[in-house]
């Protein structure tokens, strides 16, 4: 019975994801926007056709891992390291500016400092899934702006560790141990550097070993053992699982079987990635955005959303490298994700953040997610129009 | 936390499945035997490295669906229909002989008739997953024996509906409504015929439609919407989900995009199918086979396993078509699966079957699963030796 529900849910999710994605592509948008909206439509908040079961959740989580693994496979480790300083600067600005904006705004409204701290923290964390998907759909992963965005997303996740330690400290003990937060981030950076260094050295050996196997499908299975294993280790280090999957992709991209792995992972991604975006859409409760509902923080939601967008755009202005689309970097960092909600959730758990305010924050996170895909698409289209030939595929120097 | 456990479990399952599968292939066995044994080793009964979580269960269920979908894609509907009468005869014999054997044996031991009925029913249902996988691994899906086995498995599932209605009737009301059981099977046959007829007529239209889509991955997603949807409908009709997935594969095999779909489904199958076989192995409790344990039905387990094997071999002897390996047909039908356990479970639920006896039946089902892979492999190898050239790939007429 549970299996049947999952099969029906999966068939519906796939069908509507493809139909809505196709409709969006034909009207000049990206498929991911269609998948997000399709999720809103079939989710419990609107039609209630599909419920977010544990089975769908498992497939969605694997989907976003495989998306970031694929993005890693299509990225170049050297390019990413060269973008490192720029990406770090963008990430730091992308944490500081939204935090100050959120904290200052809430303080100005007369909220107590503790509430303002949690709201500020919620505004900081970028969710790279949506942007990575849009860049993949647009075929723009090789752009220099994409490297800065991806690099900044990794740094952002490490900064998120520090913020989580700080807000959890405030929430539980009322104090902050900056030393332990710093230690955490040093461990995280060390782990990433080590994983990539050892991986780059070990991967060719493993790939050659897998090549000598007789059983079918050895290469793709070993590649995903690596990706899923590194994701689990990331999680143990307190980092997001997608950071590990991205690192695994980066490492395997340095091997001679890169294209082979890419070709084999593609149909797997085609099946699982849309499940992630549809279930993200399913979590949206449109009722939260109803301005006529009781206790609706409608004005506050819109104001915080505006701040969330503007503050990441400002962070994008710290781009100093020539030839990097700074607006694209800013817009690419606009989508917030569940990490921000974890910060807010810590506040909810200790009673600093009220239920209504938490709901408003959920709405802010959701709205930022829907802003990025059409905006990024428009930016690259405007660019293609400004520089006529070749319109579909401008030179990588752009 | 649950996600991390799933990722670690998945990495372990994939890794050990590949290592054990490779070891088996190198010693002349099939990879699936390695995956089953790997599952026993890491399962709760032995090392306890991996627990059968809900997440693994979901991936395993999708894995066996995709396996049968892939087998359907590589089969020929016309060939299967031409094998229809032969397959039906084999399926009927494969239900009647094991039932009579189980019933007679238990009656002879002095068990009451009701107990004997449930044991007999448990002995009937073939589980086609293991055999389908072995045939795929050996590259023997085009053999005439394979067509008979696959056709018989479908008929067997329909007969299973009748048996389920009968034993459930006995278990709940003490009586049997043969009319309603017959109606059920007529509905099942009608559904299958309709699904295939409509599918063959509709599939080319859908495939052409999918071909006109711009979004990435449309063909593979629509193909699996069809497979998963038909699996869900099968389940609603009281049939196994794999029957629907197999039918979907058969239908899509008649379209011009067959090879394209096959190529795209392959990496997905490579990832998910081993999860199914490893989790099957994980369900084995070797303690059930300990002859020195208290209340061990050790002798009974071995005797019933012997009967289970021999009775399906006898069913294989009803092969009258020339050029069909009749021993292969019999051995291919030896593995029993969860359907048999559902029958026994109905007896357990009403107190006809005692706990200990139920455990013995679980052990019988498991033992039959492990017998088939090496035996089938040996049969085809002996055959290749008897008819020397070309040893690796005898002509399809064989």
Question: What are residue B126's DSSP bridge partners?
Answer: B336
| Choice between B51 and A38, residue whose per-residue pLDDT is larger | A38
pLDDT of the residue at A389: 42
How many CB contacts within 8 angstroms connect chain A with chain B? 145
> Residues of chain A with pLDDT > 70: what percent?
92
Cα–Cα distances in angstroms (integers) from residue A197 to residues A66, A200, A222, A239, A254, in the given order: 21, 5, 19, 18, 11
HSE of B327, CA atoms in CB hemisphere, 13 A: 8
- Where are the alpha helices (H) located in A283-354, listed in sequence order? 298-316, 326-332, 338-349
pLDDT of the residue at B396: 42
Q: Which long-range contacts (CB under 8 A, 24 or more apart) does A84-88 make?
A: A84/A151, A86/A148, A86/A151, A86/A319, A86/A320, A86/A321, A86/A324, A87/A147, A87/A148, A87/A149, A87/A150, A87/A151, A87/A152, A87/A154, A87/A155, A88/A151, A88/A152, A88/A155
Res A198 pLDDT > 70: yes
Name which of B27, B22, B38, B18 is nearest B377 in CA terms.
B27
Exposed (0-12), middle (13-18) or buried (19+): which is B386, by Cβ within 10 Å? exposed
For residues B52-70, give the mean pLDDT: 91
Please report the ipTM that was assigned to this predicted complex. 0.85
Listed range (A62-66, B19-23, B287-291, B322-326) with the worst mean pLDDT? B287-291
Identity of the highest mean pLDDT range in A154-158, A307-311, B110-114: A307-311
Distance from CA of B318 to the nearest CA of A (A): 34
CB B152 within 8 A of CB B331: no
What span, in angstroms and rounded, lies between the C-alpha atoms of A263 and A252?
13
Exposed (0-12), middle (13-18) or buried (19+): which is B351, by Cβ within 10 Å? exposed
Q: Which residues on B lie below 8 Å from A33 (Cβ)?
A: none
Q: Which residues on B lie below 8 Å from A27 (Cβ)?
A: none
Shortest CA distance from B218: residue in chain A: A18
What span, in angstroms and rounded, lies between the C-alpha atoms of A128 and A195?
20
For residues B377-386, give the mean pLDDT: 77
> Residues of chain B with pLDDT > 90: what percent?
36
What's the pLDDT band for B269 if we cut at 50, 70, 90?
very high
Distance from CA of B235 to the nearest CA of A (A): 7
What's the pLDDT band for A89 if we cut at 50, 70, 90?
very high
For residues A74-91, give the mean pLDDT: 86
pLDDT of the residue at A393: 41
> Residues of chain B with pLDDT > 70: what percent?
93
What span, in angstroms and rounded, lies between the C-alpha atoms of A36 and B367?
48
pLDDT tens digits along B347-376: 887 788 887 888 888 888 888 988 999 999
| Residue B382 CB contacts under 8 Å (≥ 6 apart), including other chains | none
pLDDT of the residue at B93: 94
CB atoms within 10 A of CB A80: 20
CB A121 within 8 A of CB A163: yes
- The residue behind tokens 């202005």 is A317
Res A142 pLDDT > 90: no
Name which of B282, B307, B287 is nearest B12 in CA terms.
B282
For residues A345-362, give the mean pLDDT: 82
Cα radius of gyration (chain B): 21
For residues B283-290, give the mean pLDDT: 74
Q: Which long-range contacts (CB under 8 A, 24 or more apart) does B87-90 make?
A: B87/B147, B87/B148, B87/B149, B87/B150, B87/B151, B87/B152, B87/B154, B87/B155, B88/B151, B88/B152, B88/B155, B89/B318, B89/B320, B90/B148, B90/B152, B90/B315, B90/B316, B90/B318, B90/B319, B90/B329, B90/B333
Q: How far is CA B315 from the centre of its chain?
A: 17
A266·B217 Cβ contact <8 A:
yes
Look up residue B132 and give its two tokens: 């389908």
B224·A271 Cβ contact <8 A:
yes
Q: Which residues on B lie below 8 Å from A18 (Cβ)?
A: 213, 215, 218, 221-222, 225
Q: Which residues on A lie below 8 Å from B15 (Cβ)?
A: 222, 225
Q: What sign for the dihedral angle of Cα A230, A235, A236, A237?
A: positive
First to last CA, chain A: 53
Residue A123: helix, strand or coil by DSSP? coil
Region class of A240: left (phi > 0), else alpha (psi between -120 and 50), else beta: beta
Res A349 pLDDT > 70: yes
Res A388 pLDDT > 80: no
pLDDT of the residue at A385: 67
Res B221 pLDDT > 90: yes
pLDDT of the residue at B142: 87
Distance from CA of B88 to the nearest CA of A (A): 28
Res B108 pLDDT > 80: yes
pLDDT of the residue at B391: 38
Average per-residue pLDDT in chain B?
A: 85
For residues B232-259, give the mean pLDDT: 89
For residues B201-224, give the mean pLDDT: 86
| Residue B201 CB contacts under 8 Å (≥ 6 apart), including other chains | none
Determine phi and psi for B288, rounding to 5 degrees.
Answer: -65, -20
B3·A235 Cβ contact <8 A:
yes
Res A306 pLDDT > 60: yes
Res A338 pLDDT > 60: yes
For residues A158-186, give the mean pLDDT: 76
pLDDT of the residue at B51: 82
Res A187 pLDDT > 50: yes
pLDDT of the residue at A341: 79
pLDDT of the residue at A63: 93
pLDDT of the residue at B319: 86
pLDDT of the residue at B293: 67
| Choice between A136 and B392, residue whose per-residue pLDDT is larger | A136
Look up residue A146 and give its two tokens: 């994409």
Residue A380: helix, strand or coil by DSSP? helix
pLDDT of the residue at A398: 31
Listed range (A1-10, A355-364, A388-397) with the worst mean pLDDT? A388-397
The residue length of chain B stands at 398
What's the pLDDT band for A180 if we cut at 50, 70, 90?
confident
A6·B55 Cβ contact <8 A:
no
B232·A11 Cβ contact <8 A:
yes
CB B162 within 8 A of CB B181: yes
pLDDT tens digits along B385-398: 665 444 344 444 43
A228·B21 Cβ contact <8 A:
no
What span, in angstroms and rounded, lies between the C-alpha atoms of B39 and B23?
14
Evaluate the omega torsion of the peptide bond into residue B276 and state whether it is cis, within 30 degrees of 0.
no
For residues B32-44, give the mean pLDDT: 89
B214·A269 Cβ contact <8 A:
no
Res B178 pLDDT > 80: no
pLDDT of the residue at B330: 92
Determine phi and psi for B174, rounding to 5 degrees.
Answer: 80, -15
CA angle A274, A87, A74 (to 5 degrees): 40
Domains delineated in chain A = 2-285+297-376 (1.20.1530.20)
CA angle A206, A211, A217 (to 5 degrees): 100
CB atoms within 10 A of CB A346: 21
Listed range (A384-388, B132-136, B341-345) with the worst mean pLDDT? A384-388
First to last CA, chain B: 53
Q: What is the dihedral of CA B350, B356, B358, B359, to 10 degrees?
A: 150
3-state helix, strand, coil in chain A (%, to 5): 75, 0, 25
Shortest CA distance from B275: residue in chain A: A221
Q: What is the dihedral of CA A10, A12, A18, A21, to 10 degrees?
A: -110
Res A140 pLDDT > 80: yes
Of B7, B137, B225, the CB nearest to A11: B225
pLDDT tens digits along A4-23: 999 999 999 999 999 999 99
Name which of A385, A384, A381 is nearest A394 in CA terms.
A384
CB A7 within 8 A of CB B235: yes
CB B241 within 8 A of CB B235: yes
| Residue B119 CB contacts under 8 Å (≥ 6 apart), including other chains | B102, B103, B105, B106, B111, B304, B344, B353, B357, B361
Cα–Cα distances in angstroms (integers) from residue B229 to residues A6, B164, B260, B270, B388, in the given order: 10, 24, 20, 22, 45
| Choice between A381 and B395, residue whose per-residue pLDDT is larger | A381
What's the pLDDT band for B66 if we cut at 50, 70, 90?
very high
Q: What is the dihedral of CA B311, B244, B239, B162, to 10 degrees?
A: -50
CB atoms within 10 A of CB B355: 9
| Residue B33 CB contacts under 8 Å (≥ 6 apart), including other chains | B24, B370, B373, B374
Name which of B386, B385, B381 is nearest B140 in CA terms.
B381
Of A6, A18, A21, the CB nearest to B58: A6
CB B318 within 8 A of CB B89: yes
Look up residue A197 and give its two tokens: 């260094």
Res A395 pLDDT > 50: no
Question: What are residue A336's DSSP bridge partners?
Answer: A126
């Amino acid at each position: 019975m549970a299996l049947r529900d999952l099969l029906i849910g999966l068939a519906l999710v796939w069908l509507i994801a493809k139909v809505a994605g196709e409709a969006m592509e034909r009207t000049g948008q990206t498929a991911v926007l269609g998948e997000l909206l399709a999720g809103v439509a079939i989710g419990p908040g609107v039609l209630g056709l599909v419920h977010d079961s544990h089975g769908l959740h498992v497939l969605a989580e694997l989907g976003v891992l495989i998306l970031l693994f694929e993005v890693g496979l299509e990225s170049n480790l050297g390019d990413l390291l060269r973008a490192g300083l720029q990406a770090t600067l963008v990430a730091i600005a992308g944490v500081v500016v939204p935090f100050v904006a959120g904290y200052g705004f809430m303080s100005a409204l007369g909220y107590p400092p503790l509430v303002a701290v949690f709201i500020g923290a919620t505004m900081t964390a970028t969710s790279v899934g949506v942007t990575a998907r849009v860049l993949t759909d647009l075929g723009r992963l090789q752009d220099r702006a994409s490297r800065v965005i991806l690099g900044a997303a990794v740094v952002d996740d490490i900064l998120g560790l520090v913020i989580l330690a700080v807000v959890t400290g405030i929430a539980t003990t009322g104090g902050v141990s900056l030393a332990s937060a710093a230690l955490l981030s040093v461990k995280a950076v060390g782990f990433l550097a080590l994983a990539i260094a050892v991986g780059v050295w070990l991967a060719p050996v493993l790939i050659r070993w897998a090549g000598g196997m007789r059983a079918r499908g050895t290469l793709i299975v070993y590649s995903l053992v690596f990706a899923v294993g590194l994701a689990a280790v990331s999680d143990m280090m307190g980092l997001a699982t997608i950071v590990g999957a991205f690192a695994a992709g980066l490492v395997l991209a340095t091997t001679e079987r890169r294209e082979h792995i890419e070709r084999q992972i593609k149909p797997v991604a085609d099946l699982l990635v849309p499940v992630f975006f549809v279930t993200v859409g399913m979590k949206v409760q449109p009722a939260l955005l109803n301005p006529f509902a009781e206790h609706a923080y409608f004005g506050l939601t819109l104001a915080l959303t505006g701040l969330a967008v503007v503050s990441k755009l400002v962070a994008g202005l710290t781009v100093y490298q020539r030839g990097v689309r700074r607006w694209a970097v800013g817009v690419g960092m606009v989508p917030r994700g569940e990490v921000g909600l974890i910060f807010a959730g810590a506040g909810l758990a200790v009673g600093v953040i009220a239920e209504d305010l938490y709901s408003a924050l959920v709405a802010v996170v959701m709205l930022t997610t829907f802003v990025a895909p059409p905006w990024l698409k428009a930016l690259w289209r405007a660019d293609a129009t400004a520089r006529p030939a070749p319109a579909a595929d401008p030179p990588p120097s752009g």
